[in-house]
Structures are given as structure tokens and as C-alpha cells.
Amino acid sequence: MPLDQVPVGLVIGSPAHELFGGPESQFATLDALAEATRSCQLCGLHRTAKQAVPGHGNPHADLVCVGEAPGSNEDEQGLPFVGPAGQLLTKILGAIDLSREDVFICNVLKHRPPGNRNPLPDEVAACSPYLVRQIALLKPAVIVALGTFAAQTLLQSKEPIGKLRGKIHRYYGVPLIATYHPAALLRNPSWKRPTWEDVQLARRLLDRARSA
């Protein structure tokens, strides 16, 4: 399907101000932001997590992947998506000709919720400015939201992932593709096909941005 016929999704923010060059410019670099997450006590998760998992990857990435929150492997290593879901994410990226070195990967929450429980609203509220600022600093050409939680948080929506996927949303002007979380794919292999279509769409948007 030609890109201009893909259904238009939700539009969050305006391209010009609030996010890029806007007032949330407290952290000048990704490293400064990562350092701040390591001593962050804005919610209770720092008490139970072993360490912060700020995000990792190419600071010049055109593509940013956003997941939910660190799990136990990530909590141990301080790096996002390093467990089984992360290995699948590496393969998914490989399928669209990207390596982990090409992209930047982060999560909505920077500390692991105990027992991998769902993030709580106050934790999301406390942690969101870090994600917003990361995206502002990275200025990606495309964002891929991995799973219900990242998609619903970024898009400020309660729609299920099945409804949010397959569209080109706009996050402060940046095309945002929502797709299934790799951990969900491990449980539901039938979602591999739609995920493949979603990442192909992200790839085409990336190619279009690069050739513009």
C-alpha cells in the first residue's frame, strides 16, 4: 500500500515547539539524562530496582524503539532489551536491515517494577519527562512503540494495540508506528505477521525520511 494510503492515526503535540526545542530542555545530552535517571527518586521504583536502565544505542539514530520497562535481565545489566524479548527485537530489527547499533532503544520506565508488574500511573507520570526529553534530543525520523503500554503512553490513548497498529500516528510531528511487544510475540507467534508489516512500514518511513 502506498504510504499516503496508510490510515492516518493519532496526532500528539505539534511538530514545532513543545517537544523539539521546547521548555523541557533540562538535560543537554543523553548522557546527562542517563546520569540523572541513575540517582532518580521521583517514584518508589529506585528502592526495589538494582539500577536504572536509561536506554542505549546510537545517539544519532533515525529510529527509536520504546518499550515498557526493564525486566530482570535489564535490571541486572543496566541495558534495555537484553533478555529473550531483546533477542527477538534484535531479529526484528535485522529483518528491516537495522542493527542495534543503528537504533536507540529505551523504555517508558527507567527502573524495573518489582516482579515485572504493570507500571503504575504515578510511575509513568514521574518517568515520562525523561522519555520525552530523550526523544527531543534524538530527533528521530521514526518512533516504534513496542507493545500496548508504550503505544498507549506515547499516544495518550486507551485503544488496544490491535487498533493502534497499522496506522501512521504523529508524535510531535514524528511518524510513530505501534506494534506488538516482542515478549507478546514469544507467547503469540500469530502476531509475527502483523509485526512484520508494522516494521516494514517503519522501514519505508525511514527510507522516505532519508531520501527527503
Q: Which residues bind ligand URA (CB under 6 A)?
A: 67-71, 74, 80-81, 85-86, 107, 183
Residue nearer to ligand URA on the CB measure, 9 or 182: 182
Q: How many CA atoms lie within 13 A of 56 on its CB side?
A: 14
The minimum distance between CB 186 and ligand URA, in angstroms, equals 11
Residue with smallest beta-carbon separation from ligand URA: 67
The minimum distance between CB 127 and ligand URA, in angstroms, equals 13
Among 36, 87, 78, which residue's Cα sits nearest to residue 55?
Answer: 78
Residue nearer to ligand URA on the CB measure, 83 or 140: 83
The minimum distance between CB 183 and ligand URA, in angstroms, equals 6
* Cα 43 to Cα 34, 69, 110, 113, 127, distances in angstroms: 16, 14, 11, 11, 8
Provide the residue type at 165 as one letter.
R
Instruction: Return the C-alpha cell found at 135.
Output: 526523544
Residue nearer to ligand URA on the CB measure, 68 or 123: 68
